[in-house]
Amino acid sequence: MPVKNRFAELQDEITAWRRDIHENPEILFETHRTSALVAEKLRAFGCDEVVEGIGRTGVVGVIKGRETGSGKVVGLRADMDALPINEATGLDYASKTPGAMHACGHDGHTAMLLGAAKYLSETRNFDGTVVVIFQPAEEGGGGGKVMCDDGMMERWGIHEVYGMHNWPGLPVGSFAIRPGAFFAATDELQITIKGKGGHAAKPQETVDPTLCAAQIVTALQTIVSRNADPVSQIVVSVTSFETSSHAFNVIPAHVTLRGTVRTLAPENRDLAEERVTALCENIARGFGASAEVVYKRNYPVMVNHEDQTDFAADVARSVAGECADAPLVMGGEDFAYMLEERPGAYILVGNGDTARVHHPEYNFNDEAIPAGCSWWAGIAEQRMPLG
């Protein structure tokens, strides 16, 4: 099954949907316009059921095959939300919303799954049921978990679930995947160091939290270099250093650090939390200061299931001729929550030589649409073939 001719015919239409979504980005759970557009199109396609408000602003569409005797139900998921970034592409269809941009390609994911839903509603060339899932709040809001907590998997009896993400640097329309741990667990840090502020000319009368915080930033890197196994994957990043005073001649009273910890194994996640807390509290104590650590466990490791990964790769090869081995990714992905609920797999589709995701000059490559849509359709038709 190479790229389907129907998706070549639909490419201009799907591209128009994508660019409309791109021009009107919405963040986290505020995907009201996008969700309404998705629901309207699913109804127009003739889906058997369209339900809004799953996971606050998520949308679910149900498409029954020409036969349903197999009893199989396969979920296909796309994310809809944008990022809080000011766009710098200069495109005719660039974001009209200041401070919001589709800088990760979720506009493309949504449009491709809509294209697949239109085709599957037209042909119904499978024995079973397809559930198309349009999820809000992937970018930090945990929308996947909220949809699962709303009982989505049980309500529609989903047996397996599949997701896709575009990937800059991978040739357009090609695919890559890996079994097992794929995307990292992502945890958030907020560390408040409290000292005693005062005049910069009299440091002996203060307890300087800036100096203490600088030592903590350096020491946190020893978790990777001296505590974790050198062959394991772990990243500790302090991304914000904010003092309570911005004056040139004032030693501040407190400093707030923020950052992330990314791991691919539960034992490293536990290790990182323990060492972050111990280092911060004890270094602060040594300076006569105090440290309050808020360690928030965010998205879990996204783990592809072996059988479903093999199947997803086979479908990719049927579309593109081959499927590459994907690298480990230290970014997070809340499709992890759905893969904790049901077996499934997550694949990368090539976006070509473009700016990287989360960059103000990034843009989803519309040339990837036929391949992505064909993969979605192939998941349904090949997992639930007609007898």
What are the pLDDT digits (tens) for 216-248? 999 999 999 999 999 889 999 999 999 999 999
Question: What pLDDT sits at residue 240?
Answer: 97
Pick the CATH number of 185-297 from 3.40.50.1820, 3.40.30.10, 3.30.70.360, 3.30.310.50: 3.30.70.360
Instruction: List, in sequence order, every beta strand (DSSP E) within 44-158.
Output: 49-54, 58-64, 73-79, 129-135
* Residue 3's pLDDT band (cuts 50, 70, 90): confident
Structure tokens at 52: 């809004």
Percent of the chain scoring above 70 in pLDDT: 99
Question: What distance lies between CA 96 and its chain's CA centroid?
Answer: 23
Percent of the chain that is helix, strand, coil (3-state, to 5): 35, 30, 35
Distances in Å between the Cα of 206 and the Cα atoms of 115, 192, 228, 241, 252 are: 63, 17, 35, 20, 9
Distance CA 31, CA 37 (A): 10
What are the pLDDT digits (tens) for 357-377? 999 999 999 999 999 999 999
The burial class, CB within 10 Å (0-12 / 13-18 / 19+), for 164 is buried
Across-strand partners of 255? 193, 243
What average pLDDT does range 308-323 have in this prediction?
98
What average pLDDT does range 303-330 have in this prediction?
97
Distance CA 122, CA 133 (A): 18
Structure tokens at 86: 């000011």
Q: Domain 5-183+302-383: what homologous superfamily?
A: Zn peptidases (3.40.630.10)
148 belongs to an annotated ligand binding site = no
Helix (H), strand (E) at residue 208: none
What are the pLDDT digits (tens) for 152-166? 999 999 999 999 999
- Are 76 and 380 contacting, i.e. CB atoms less than 8 angstroms apart? yes
pTM for this structure?
0.95
Q: Looking at this protein, which amino acid is placed at residue 213?
A: A
pLDDT of 1 > 90? The answer is: no
Domain boundaries, the chain: 5-183+302-383, 185-297
Question: CB neighbours (10 Å) of residue 332?
Answer: 22
What are the pLDDT digits (tens) for 45-55? 999 999 999 99
What average pLDDT does range 181-189 have in this prediction?
97
pLDDT of 311 > 80? The answer is: yes
104 belongs to an annotated ligand binding site = yes
More confident residue, 1 or 145: 145
**Which one, of 122, 100, 101, 119, lies nearest residue 111 by Cα?**
119
254 belongs to an annotated ligand binding site = no
106 belongs to an annotated ligand binding site = yes
Q: What does 9-34 look like in DSSP terms, one character per residue? A: HHHHHHHHHHHHHHHS--BTT--HHH
Question: CB neighbours (10 Å) of residue 215?
Answer: 16
Q: One fold for both 5-183+302-383 and 185-297?
A: no
Percent of the chain scoring above 90 in pLDDT: 97
pLDDT of 190 > 80? The answer is: yes
Q: What is the DSSP letter of 58?
A: E
* Residue 4's pLDDT band (cuts 50, 70, 90): confident
What are the pLDDT digits (tens) for 90-132? 999 999 999 999 999 999 999 999 999 999 999 999 999 999 9
